[in-house]
Chains A and B, each alone.
Chain A
Amino acid sequence: MAKILLEMQNITKLFPGVKALDNVNLQVEEGEIHALVGENGAGKSTLMNVLSGIYPYGTYEGKIIYNGQECKFTNIKDSEALGIVIIHQELALIPYMTIGENMFLGNEQGRSWKIDWAETYGKSDEYLRTVGLKESSRTLIKDIGVGKQQLVEIAKALAKNAKLLILDEPTSSLNENESKDLLDLLLKFKQEGLTSIIISHKLNEISYVADKITVIRDGSTIETLDKEKDDISEARIIKGMVGRELSDRFPKREKNIGDICLEVIDWNAYHPIYSDKKIIDHVSINARKGEILGISGLQGAGRTEFAMSVFGKSYGEKISGTLIKDGEKLKLNSVQEAIKNKIAYVTEDRKGNGLILSNSIKFNTTLANLSGVSKNGIINKDNEYAVAVEYKEKLKTKCPTVEQNVGNLSGGNQQKVLLAKWMFADPDILILDEPTRGIDVGAKYEIYCIMNQLASEGKTVIMISSEMPELLGMCDRIYVMNEGRIVGEMPIEEATQESIMACILQSDNAEITA
């Protein structure tokens, strides 16, 4: 048996209100490629952040043993000094610096008062050759594609003397050829003795490179599969990822589904910056009154982008397609028009795109519908206060007063304020993007109850979620999206986690063979 390079023992990590990791164990042998799989939010990235010292020693429980020694990292520098290097999903390169400058950022060659540029670029070129990238290290990062940038990240990791390389979704923004090249590169490094941990959703890729696969679900390790001994087919991995009991975590609802309320036909949209990159590809959906419609898919499938492009073109360029609401064709060129036509979009990023954290619950509640509490542009403050209190009570938001700043609330209560804001805008169609992300079980249940309430009032609720159990528990019908396209539609009776996953994977495979 090979030497154990890394052992993480009983790692438990708490966030306010959420247990992100619960007694997780992970063993990685020297010279292997170890895959970490699990649904979004299962705790993979949290675990890697614990390992790399982003969450310093003391903020978690458990032990990290690396090379036979217990480690107590207080920041990334500590873990990097031992050769543990993490490459995040979002690339951390600075566009207007050269490859060489990026590669040695924070690790500059020469002396601190005199950077040795010859050394910098010389060494960079060497590392670029190692990863097989034919670019000069004097090229600016912005001038090379994402695939090459990913290689630069790996070269940068090698420049830090990486012994254990952690890659978080390394292929999520790469095309098939680039992905294949990257995986082959990992296999080549493996021959040379480098150990890697790879986090990925793409199970075909994992089957291709991984020696061992550890499955994480709901913050716990479920099992570790060994390529030599176990079946590591995709079906087997999926079973490990999703195999949990669905109990009554979801409130019941009297179904009363009416006519078609919203129809989107042949919808297309392009990336706002890279205008030749198609993000939404011939999407057509419909939704009925009183229906909770689910849109499933992995992160990056284009669900958020689709919803936002429908919501008054708040995302994307060159948007085309037909939008029909209650039998009437609509052209929504701005968010104002979308709101006026009673469509609301509740963002997945409540802190970044949803709430004004420096202001009160009251301020946020009325922001999308100020005309509802004002006359001739003058706000009736008593009215506004009454509205805020009404919604606070309706949604059971926990706060001392509605004058409280939203920034001081917990995630679940912030989500309720965000919902209140859009409920007060009185939409017919409410698009909820990851409405339960990062909030605890109790608050989730309350949000589900609100959704049921809205649907039974005859509103159309469209729920985008990466958590399949909640889609299966809440929705009447589910669309599956992958890479900007609708790849499946199923009534709830036919939907299972396996069938949804299968839709996604089949569409991925179809692309590889095509």
Chain B
Amino acid sequence: MEKKNDSAKVIEFIKKYAMVIVLALVLIFFSITTGGKILLPNNISNIISQNAYVFVLATGMLLCILTGGNIDLSVGSVVCFVGAVGATLMTSIGIPWPVSVLIMFSVGLLIGATQAFWIAYVRIPPFIVTLAGMLIFRGLSNVVLNGLTVTITDKVGFIKFFGGGADCYVPDFLGKLLGEEPSVNITCLVVGFIAVVAFIAFEIAGRLKRVKKGYEVDKMIPWIIKLVLISSVVVALTVLLALFKGIPSVLIIVMIVIGIYTYITSNTTTGRYFYAVGGNEKATRLSGINTNKTFFLAYTNMGFLAALAGMITIARMTSAQPTYGQNYEMDAIASCFIGGASAYGGIGTVPGAIIGATLMGVINLGMLIMGVDQNMQKVVKGLVLLAAVIFDVVSKRGFKLIAKN
């Protein structure tokens, strides 16, 4: 009996942390095949800057997927369109960048709300509405840009704020205080250190509070292992970033987005509704929850985050082109599913989607360093997505491969 319990626990553990384990294995694999190159500071920094848009979009896509396995196909085109509008405003018309940013967010929200209206209140299938949006906004991007590339000339404000380009890092003001040109980025180290301390303090405080109130808590040893693992990952990341150029400014934006949405999905009533609607819409409606509004929020929010991703994209590229954003929706969707979201809705977490996105990013970069052909990279990514979802579905069925007829 004892033994059976143990194996059940192991299976439970593997199911819960499957993608974290896979991510670790993939990192080890690429460390070996690239001779450790993938773990070089500049590469780690690159993974973050290059994939910032995926992190943002995957977060938004997760909400759509939670509402019932629905996906937003228009994301890539909206990214491109918002970017095109923004670049035109800033460069061709010369509107100051903070105003342009506001306009871009408004455009994103408006697009999101329009699509959301059809989906939530008129009940047109999301697949259709967003497929239409995908065509419409790809076309409009071309119209706005006249089919040309608009290069962003304002290299100071906008790009530094949103960018992941050459000089877009949080300046090392602490390092400057200490003296000239330290070899590591002191600010980055300090921020990382504060983050780790704060994390551990919160965890301990939370645990003490629960113990005091007599609630269940995780077992001591697994809990400590968890703390140590997470802290050491953060420390390692901090050191690597500090050894390069410091904190990419886009990382700040991504962290804020992840933080806010993790909180919304796990701690607010609105977040709760996304899960409820996806789990059983009828039951949710009969619990007195406005399900139309929930759908509306999910897709409106997607427009908002697509606008943010649009800004990140044109900042990194320092230009807008009618071809930007292609397949971004697929990256976001794949990240969510790899990260454990259910294709039927109701299950999934923001951290899961982020891990999914990271896994894709690591595979991309690893293969790039190894010099794998671009086309084969797509093949590998496709296989990873398929394998992840097969694992998810089959493990939920008690590891029976074939479904009952």
A residues neighboring B (CB under 8 Å): 311-312, 314, 334-336, 338-340, 345, 347, 352-359, 363, 367-368, 370-371, 374, 377-379, 381-382, 385-386, 401, 421
Contact = CB atoms under 8 A, between A and B. Distances in A.
Contact of B284 (A334, A356, A379): A356
B285 A335 contact: yes
18 contacts: A314-B285, A335-B287, A336-B288, A347-B286, A353-B283, A355-B283, A356-B283, A357-B280, A358-B279, A359-B275, A359-B346, A367-B289, A368-B288, A378-B267, A379-B268, A382-B209, A382-B215, A385-B215
A367 B284 contact: yes
A353 B282 contact: yes
Given A377-B270, A379-B268, 20 more contacts: A334-B288, A338-B288, A340-B288, A352-B283, A353-B282, A356-B276, A356-B283, A356-B346, A357-B280, A358-B279, A359-B276, A359-B279, A368-B287, A374-B269, A377-B268, A379-B267, A379-B269, A382-B209, A382-B215, A386-B215
A355 B280 contact: yes
B292 to A, nearest CB: 11
Given A354-B286, A359-B276, A378 B215 contact: no
B347 interface: yes
A367 B267 contact: no
B342 interface: yes
- Give 4 nearest A-B pairs by CB, closest first: A356-B279, A368-B287, A339-B288, A335-B288
B342 A358 contact: yes
A336 B289 CA distance: 7
Interface of B: 209-210, 213, 215-216, 267-270, 272, 275-276, 279-280, 282-290, 342, 346-347
B283 A354 contact: yes
A421 B216 CA distance: 22
A339 B286 CA distance: 10
A382 B286 contact: no
A480 B359 CA distance: 62
Contacts of A311: 286
A401 B276 CA distance: 20
A347 to B, nearest CB: 6
Nearest to B272: A370
B215, B269, B288 — most chain A CB neighbours (10 Å): B288
A322 to B, nearest CB: 22
Contacts of A352: 280, 282-283
A312 B342 CA distance: 31
Contacts of A379: 267-269, 272
Contacts of B275: 356, 359, 363
A52 B270 CA distance: 47
Nearest to A345: B286
B287 A421 contact: yes
Contacts of B272: 363, 367, 370, 379
Contacts of B280: 352-353, 355-357
Contacts of A334: 288
A214 B280 CA distance: 40
Contacts of A363: 272, 275-276
A363 B280 CA distance: 13
Contacts of B213: 382, 386
Nearest to B342: A358
A381 to B, nearest CB: 7
Contacts of A357: 279-280
A368 B270 CA distance: 13
Contacts of A347: 283, 286
B272 to A, nearest CB: 6
Contacts of B282: 352-353
Contacts of B215: 382, 385-386
A338 B288 CA distance: 8
A382 B276 contact: no
Contacts of A335: 285-288
Contacts of B284: 356, 367
A368 B273 CA distance: 11
Contacts of A355: 280, 283
Contacts of B270: 377
Contacts of A359: 275-276, 279, 346
A367 B215 CA distance: 21
Contacts of B342: 358
Contacts of A377: 268-270
Nearest to A350: B283
A353 B215 CA distance: 31
A370 B286 contact: no
A358 to B, nearest CB: 5
A335 B292 CA distance: 13
Contacts of A367: 272, 276, 284, 287, 289
Contacts of B290: 336
Nearest to B275: A359
B199 to A, nearest CB: 18
A371 B210 CA distance: 22
